[in-house]
C-alpha cells in the first residue's frame, strides 16, 4: 500500500504548503461537530453532484435520533480514521486533520456528559423502571404528535404532558397501595422527574461549552481541540498509537499528488471544469534543410513550470497574484457514479506520493488510450480557504501535432450552513406592569424533549452501533472528501467569480510563451503557434464560466 510505513517523522514539523492563514473553510467545517439542531438540516448543504443522506432508525424509536453535531462528528471520525476506510479525496484549502481533531474533541465532551447522564439514569430511572417507562412513553407520544405542523396538534402534545402530570399528582395523593409498594410507587413517579432536573443541569452546562466552541471557531478558532487519547503515554497503549498513526496517514493522503477525474463531476476536490483552451499545430522545421531537434513533452512542461513561478511578479506594484502552489498531478479517470477510488501503489509510490520518474514517464508516454494522464497544475487558495482556483496544463504530441491544453477548475465556498453562528434562544414576552411593552426572555439552551433524548441515549453510547440501529445515522457522499462534499458554486459570489475568470488570461499567455520558447530553441517553425496563441489570447478575454465537462453532442 502507498501508506505503509508512513508515520510522524522526528524533529521539527514543516508547515504544509499553502496552509498558513487558510482557516475559514477549515473552522467552518469543524464547527459542525459542536452544533445542535436536527440532523436533517445538513441535507440543505447537498450539492448537485455530492449528496449526504440520513439513514433512518426504527420508526418507534425516534427519541434515539441523533442531532446534527452527534451524527456529523461520528460519521466523519469513522470515515476518516476507521480501520477499513476507503481512500479519501484531498481537501484543498482546508486541513482535514484539524476537522477530525475537533470531531474527536466533540465526541469526548459528549462522552463525559453521557457518563454523568448514565449515572442519573441508573439512580433515578433504572431502579424505578416502571415509572421511567411510563414517562418515556408519554414523551415519545408527545414527540410524535409535536412533529406535525398543525398548531392544534402541538397544543394537544403540551396538554398531554400536563394531563399526565396532573394524573401523577392524583396518583400520589390517592395511592391504591399500602406499605412498601406504596412508597415504591410514589418514588417511581417522582424519581424520574427529579432525574430530569438533574440531567437538565448537566446538559445545559455541556451545551454552553459546545456553543462557545462553535462560536469561537467561526470567530477565528480561539479554542483548540483537546484529544489526549491520541497521545500514547506508554508503549502498551495501542488504541492511542493507532489513533496517532491514523491522523498521520490522513495528513499524508492530503498531500498526495494523485487526483481523480469523475466525468461531469470534474476533478474530485478541485471542482468542475469551467473553461478549456487548446493550442494545436503541426511541428514543422524552421529551416527546411534541417530537422527538428528531438525534445519531449516533459521538456515543454518544465519550461512552463519555470515561467509559472514568475506569476507573482509584475512590472507594476499593484498587488496582483499571491504565491501559487505549482505541482505535477497524475489524474486517474473514474466513472461519474463511482462510489470509491483506488490510489496507485507499488514501488513508484511513497507515502501516497507518486515519484518524479514515474510522473515523467506518464507525461512522455501515456498520451493516448487507457491509463493515467499527467497535468501541471497552478493553484491559488483564496478568500481564507473559501475559493480554490486551479489551472491545469497538459502537453501531448501525436504524430506531428503538438497540443497544449489549459483548463480552469474552481471550487467554491463551503455551504452557508457551516458558517451560521449560534444564536441565543430567547422569547419575546410582555412586561408585567407596562403590558404594552415587550422584553426578551432568555430560554434554556436545552429544551425539555432534548434533555429526555440525551438521557435516554446516554446508556447506549458505550456501543454506538446500537444507537445507529435505533436512531439512524448520517451517510456521507462517496467518494468522500471534506472540502468538495459541501462546496457551493463560486459563480454566485461576484468577486469570487471575477477572481476565477481573471486568472485564466495571465496563465494562458505564460503557458504559450514558455512553450513557444522551447519550440524556437529546438528548431520548430512557431509562426502558426504564435497566430493561434494570439487568437486564444483574444478569446480568453471574453471568458465566461460554462459546463465544459458536459458535452452536448
More confident residue, 376 or 125: 376
What pLDDT is attached to residue 30? 92
* Residue carrying the nine cell digits 473559501: 386
What pLDDT is attached to residue 320? 78
What pLDDT is attached to residue 20? 41
What pLDDT is attached to residue 208? 92
* pLDDT surpassing 50 at residue 10: no
Domain membership of residue 347 (yes or no) is: yes
Domain membership of residue 466 (yes or no) is: no
pLDDT band at 329 (very low <50, low <70, confident <90, very high): very high
The arithmetic mean of pLDDT across residues 247-256, rounded, is 90
Domain membership of residue 145 (yes or no) is: no
* pLDDT surpassing 50 at residue 103: yes
User: What domain range includes position 286?
Assistant: 258-416+489-542
What pLDDT is attached to residue 11? 36
What pLDDT is attached to residue 148? 58
What pLDDT is attached to residue 180? 66
What pLDDT is attached to residue 178? 63
* pLDDT surpassing 50 at residue 3: no
More confident residue, 538 or 77: 77
Q: How far apart, in whole angstroms, are the C-alpha atoms of residue 258 and residue 300?
A: 21
* pLDDT surpassing 80 at residue 503: yes
The arithmetic mean of pLDDT across residues 59-68, rounded, is 86
Point out the least confidently predicted range of 194-198, 262-266, 524-528: 524-528
**Cα–Cα nearest to 95, from 221, 211, 8, 219:** 221
* pLDDT surpassing 70 at residue 313: yes
The arithmetic mean of pLDDT across residues 126-151, rounded, is 71
What pLDDT is attached to residue 395? 92
The arithmetic mean of pLDDT across residues 307-324, rounded, is 82
Q: How far apart, in whole angstroms, are the C-alpha atoms of residue 435 and residue 278?
A: 73
The arithmetic mean of pLDDT across residues 477-498, rounded, is 89
| C-alpha distances out from residue 422 to 28, 213, 222, 224, 546, Å | 12, 10, 15, 18, 36
| C-alpha distances out from residue 14 to 17, 248, 502, Å | 9, 14, 32
Domain membership of residue 532 (yes or no) is: yes
* pLDDT surpassing 60 at residue 213: yes
Domain membership of residue 354 (yes or no) is: yes
What is the Cα 158 distance to its own chain's centre? 39
What pLDDT is attached to residue 391? 93
What pLDDT is attached to residue 328? 94
* pLDDT surpassing 90 at residue 143: no
User: Residue 24 belongs to what H/E stretch?
Assistant: helix 24-31
Measured torsion, CA atoms of residues 203, 209, 211, 214, in degrees rounded to the nearest 10: -140
More confident residue, 546 or 486: 486
The arithmetic mean of pLDDT across residues 190-217, rounded, is 89
Report cis status (omega within 30 of 0) of the bond before 479.
Answer: yes
Predicted confidence (pLDDT) per residue in 396-437, tens digit: 988 888 899 999 999 999 999 999 988 887 777 776 666 666
pLDDT band at 311 (very low <50, low <70, confident <90, very high): confident
Domain membership of residue 436 (yes or no) is: no
The arithmetic mean of pLDDT across residues 45-65, rounded, is 87
Domain membership of residue 60 (yes or no) is: no
What pLDDT is attached to residue 164? 65
Domain membership of residue 202 (yes or no) is: no
Predicted confidence (pLDDT) per residue in 338-364, tens digit: 888 888 888 888 888 899 999 999 998
The arithmetic mean of pLDDT across residues 130-136, rounded, is 78
What pLDDT is attached to residue 83? 74
Domain count, the chain: 1
pLDDT band at 12 (very low <50, low <70, confident <90, very high): very low
Specify the pTM.
Answer: 0.85
| C-alpha distances out from residue 487 to 110, 161, 186, 338, 439, Å | 28, 43, 55, 19, 40
Amino acid at each position: 500500500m502507498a501508506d505503509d510505513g508512513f508515520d510522524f517523522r522526528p524533529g521539527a514539523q514543516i508547515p504544509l504548503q499553502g496552509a498558513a492563514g487558510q482557516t475559514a473553510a477549515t473552522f467552518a467545517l469543524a464547527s459542525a461537530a459542536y452544533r445542535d439542531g436536527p440532523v436533517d438540516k445538513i441535507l440543505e448543504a447537498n450539492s448537485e453532484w455530492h449528496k449526504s443522506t440520513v439513514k433512518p432508525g426504527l420508526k418507534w424509536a425516534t427519541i434515539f435520533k441523533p442531532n446534527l453535531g452527534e451524527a456529523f462528528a461520528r460519521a466523519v471520525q469513522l470515515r476518516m480514521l476507521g480501520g477499513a476506510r476507503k481512500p479519501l479525496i484531498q481537501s484543498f484549502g482546508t486541513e482535514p486533520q484539524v476537522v477530525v481533531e475537533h470531531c474527536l474533541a466533540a465526541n469526548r465532551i459528549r462522552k463525559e456528559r453521557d457518563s454523568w447522564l448514565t449515572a442519573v439514569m441508573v439512580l433515578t430511572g433504572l431502579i424505578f423502571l416502571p415509572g421511567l417507562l411510563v414517562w418515556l412513553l408519554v414523551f415519545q407520544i408527545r414527540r410524535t404528535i409535536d412533529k406535525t405542523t398543525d398548531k392544534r396538534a402541538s397544543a394537544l402534545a403540551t396538554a398531554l404532558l400536563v394531563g399526565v402530570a396532573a394524573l401523577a399528582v392524583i396518583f400520589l395523593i390517592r395511592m391504591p397501595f399500602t406499605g412498601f409498594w406504596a412508597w415504591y410507587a410514589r418514588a417511581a413517579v417522582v424519581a424520574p422527574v427529579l432525574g430530569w432536573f438533574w440531567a437538565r443541569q448537566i446538559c445545559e452546562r455541556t451545551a454552553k461549552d459546545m456553543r462557545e466552541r462553535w462560536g469561537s471557531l467561526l470567530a477565528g478558532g480561539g479554542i483548540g481541540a483537546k484529544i489526549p487519547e491520541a497521545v500514547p503515554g506508554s508503549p502498551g497503549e495501542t488504541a492511542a498509537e493507532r489513533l496517532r498513526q491514523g491522523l498521520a496517514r490522513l495528513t499524508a493522503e492530503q498531500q498526495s499528488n494523485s487526483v481523480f477525474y469523475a466525468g461531469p463531476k470534474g476533478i474530485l476536490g478541485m471542482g468542475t471544469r469551467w473553461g478549456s483552451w487548446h493550442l494545436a499545430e503541426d511541428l514543422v522545421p524552421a529551416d527546411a534543410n534541417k530537422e527538428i531537434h528531438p525534445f519531449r513533452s516533459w521538456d515543454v512542461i518544465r519550461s512552463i513550470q519555470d515561467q509559472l513561478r514568475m506569476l507573482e511578479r509584475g512590472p507594476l506594484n499593484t498587488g496582483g497574484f499571491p504565491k501559487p502552489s505549482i505541482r505535477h498531478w497524475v489524474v486517474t479517470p473514474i466513472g461519474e457514479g463511482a462510489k470509491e477510488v483506488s490510489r496507485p501503489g507499488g514501488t513508484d509510490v511513497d507515502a501516497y506520493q507518486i515519484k518524479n520518474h514515474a510522473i515523467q514517464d506518464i507525461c512522455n508516454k501515456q498520451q493516448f488510450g487507457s491509463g493515467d494522464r499527467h497535468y501541471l497544475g497552478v493553484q491559488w487558495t483564496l478568500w481564507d480557504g473559501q475559493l480554490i482556483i486551479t489551472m491545469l496544463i497538459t502537453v501531448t504530441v501525436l504524430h506531428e501535432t503538438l497540443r497544449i491544453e489549459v483548463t480552469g477548475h474552481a471550487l467554491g465556498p463551503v455551504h452557508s450552513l457551516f458558517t451560521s453562528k449560534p444564536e441565543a434562544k430567547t422569547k419575546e414576552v410582555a412586561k408585567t406592569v407596562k403590558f404594552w411593552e415587550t422584553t426578551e426572555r432568555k430560554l434554556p439552551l436545552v429544551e425539555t424533549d432534548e434533555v429526555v433524548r440525551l438521557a435516554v441515549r446516554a446508556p447506549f453510547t458505550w456501543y454506538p452501533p446500537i444507537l445507529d440501529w435505533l436512531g439512524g445515522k448520517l451517510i456521507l457522499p462517496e467518494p468522500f472528501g471534506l472540502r468538495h462534499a459541501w462546496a457551493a458554486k463560486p459563480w454566485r459570489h461576484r468577486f469570487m467569480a471575477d477572481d476565477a475568470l481573471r486568472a485564466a488570461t495571465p496563465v494562458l499567455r505564460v503557458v504559450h510563451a514558455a512553450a513557444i520558447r522551447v519550440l524556437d530553441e529546438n528548431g520548430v517553425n512557431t509562426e502558426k503557434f504564435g497566430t493561434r496563441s494570439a487568437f486564444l489570447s483574444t478569446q480568453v478575454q471574453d471568458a465566461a464560466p460554462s459546463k465544459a465537462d458536459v458535452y452536448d453532442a
